[in-house]
Structure 1
Amino acid sequence: MAWHWPQAAKPQIMAILNVTPDSFSDGGRWQAPALLPERIDQLLAEGADIIDIGGESTRPGAQAVSEQEELDRVMPAVEIALQQGAVVAVDTSKAVVMRAAITAGVQIINDVYALRQPGALEAVAMSDVAVCLMHMQGEPRTMQQTPIYGDVVAEVAEFLQARVQACIAEGIAPERIALDPGFGFGKSPEHNLRLLNRLEQLLPLGYPLLVGLSRKSLIGQVTGAAVDDRMVGSVALALLACQAGARIVRVHDVQATRQALQLWQAVANEFITS
């Protein structure tokens, strides 16, 4: 059965689960498969709607990994998360990893390259999984060196629209598609702030917006907070993104984010819901 992005009244929380040694925030913490069942249970109990599993860091300057190494990292976590009943996304750009994850039963492919790598578009099109297409200027190793835009919001929108059309032309149904403006991916602090301030200008594209701002360098640049001290900033940015129309927020701190969103919705609706 095809998995579609929910049209729920409340924003969805995508929990980050990096099984990498070098991710900027939690690299190395969850690499051991023995730790994963308890961690996944914790994320689900805290209110995660989706578990997003990544096996290759996309932080600026990160080193690429081979297909086999990424498979060896990701697939044990995928199998465990599916066994525990989670909705699972795999954060990958490699067609080989996508196909393996899809065969295992994941519901979502989350791709920072927006299916532009060899074979990626075909891998998703031949399946019934959902996909998140992200904007990135350049590539992870060098993307933060000299990001330049005339109008960052317009250029992000134009890129995402083009990738949507490529997906639809390949047979991917529109209801399977979500879009990510790619905060921190080939963007200066000022680009990120402008993009968040004008996020509603991406809503006319007509697809659910997924936003990932959790613990990112923007928080440190504005507040001076170290990576391990950015929970409050992360929650604040997730809330601002949802107020601007984001439907999915990708976060490390699930429980804190869920509480903030519950309170926002209670105030907005003047009604308490579970």
Structure 2
Amino acid sequence: MAEPEVRERVLRLGERVFGPGEFAVMAIVNRTPDSFYDRGATFATDAAYEAIDKAVADGADLVDIGGVKAGYGEPVSEDEELRRTVDFVAGIRQRHPRLIISVDTYRSGVARRVGQAGANLINDTWAGSDPGMAEAAAEVGAGLVCSHVGGLTPRTDPHRMAYDDVVADVIRTTTALAEHAVAAGVRPDSIVIDPTHDFGKNTWQSLELTRRLDELAATGWPVLVAVSNKDFIGETLDLPPGRRGSGTLAALSISAWLGARVFRVHDVPAARQALDLIAVLRGSAEPAGTRRSLA
């Protein structure tokens, strides 16, 4: 497989700078009782802090905190989402002063509050459904993830989604959101685009996005991929969430080779090792050791 030509720019999040060819691992820590993957394992505050500490020790560059389950479930008010996230973000900032903190929210009011508490990145998974999101991120000096959901409203699942060209639609939507964010005052070097696998897409469309990810990378905007244990992997391999680890690593590796820069994952050590190897294979890093046959 030939290495694609991409125009990679510097990505700045919090106090960290990721140059061309550097990969950032984003650990998922859900403050929800009904997550599809962990079923609430980090809903309790102590368990969530332990998960943060472990993710950092395992090599995560940033953590993504979610206070509302992405799909169908019990309604969660803005007040409840704030209760689950704001104080927790402030606590992480005290424990890990240089850690990049991302918060997964579609509400501009939540974005403002978590930004004031120390969040560096707003992960707007629902593609600007709240028209004030970019302005909120700019107000608190946070970066922004610009995503694609095919026009769905928050917490709804896709049904018979159709695109003339799903990749072209993703590029058109995410780059327009990125340009709007710049106009609203978000720093250009803190904006990331996300094709948002499975959101507003069936399995065939998510697979198409993965194999053509180099086209997103060629836009010049850093690309985030959130494929960890997703349904398109499960349907492709006929496996439940707890058995999709190998498929996840395959999708991550292809995405990294094709130019993705940020990787939202459940299994930090496995992702870190896979991405470190991809970085060496792409020529942007050196092996940790090269003693074999040289002594």
Normalised TM-score (structure 2): 0.87
Matched, 1:162 2:173: no
- In structure 2, the residue matched to 1:119 is 132
- In structure 2, the residue matched to 1:255 is 269
SS at match of 1:182: coil
Q: CA deviation at 1:51?
A: 0.5
Residue from 64, 72, 94 that aligns with 2:107: 94
Alignment of 1:1-274 (within 5 A): 3=14, 6-7=18-19, 9-59=21-71, 61-85=72-96, 86-137=99-150, 138-269=152-283, 271-273=286-288
Q: Which amino acid aligns with 2:86?
A: M
Q: Hey, what's the Cα distance between the residues in 1 that align with 2:165 and 2:55?
A: 37
Cα pair 1:181 1:211 within 8 Å, conserved: yes
The one-character-per-residue Cα deviations of 1:123-154 (angstroms, maximum 9, x if unpaired) are 11222111111111212443322211110001
Extract unaligned runs of 5+ from structure 2. 1-11, 290-295
Q: Hey, what's the Cα distance between the residues in 2 that align with 1:235 and 1:84?
A: 30
The one-character-per-residue Cα deviations of 1:68-108 (angstroms, maximum 9, x if unpaired) are 11011112321232122121000001112111111111111
Q: Which amino acid aligns with 2:90?
A: E
Q: Figure out how many residues of one structure are paired with residues of the other and give that number.
A: 273
Cα pair 2:142 2:186 within 8 Å, conserved: no
Cα pair 1:5 1:176 within 8 Å, conserved: no
Cα pair 2:106 2:154 within 8 Å, conserved: no
The one-character-per-residue Cα deviations of 1:47-75 (angstroms, maximum 9, x if unpaired) are 1000100000112x234411111011112
Cα pair 2:105 2:123 within 8 Å, conserved: yes
Cα pair 1:108 1:132 within 8 Å, conserved: yes
The one-character-per-residue Cα deviations of 1:149-199 (angstroms, maximum 9, x if unpaired) are 110001111111211221122122211211001101010111011111111
Q: Hey, what's the Cα distance between the residues in 2 that align with 1:244 and 1:267?
A: 12
SS at match of 2:18: coil
Q: Which amino acid aligns with 2:277?
A: L
Extract unaligned runs of 5+ from structure 1. none
Q: Hey, what's the Cα distance between the residues in 2 that align with 1:118 and 1:66?
A: 18
Q: CA deviation at 1:252?
A: 0.3
- Could you say what the CA RMSD is over the residues aligned between the two structures, in angstroms? 2.0
Q: Hey, what's the Cα distance between the residues in 1 that align with 2:89 and 2:264?
A: 17
Q: Which amino acid aligns with 1:101?
A: V
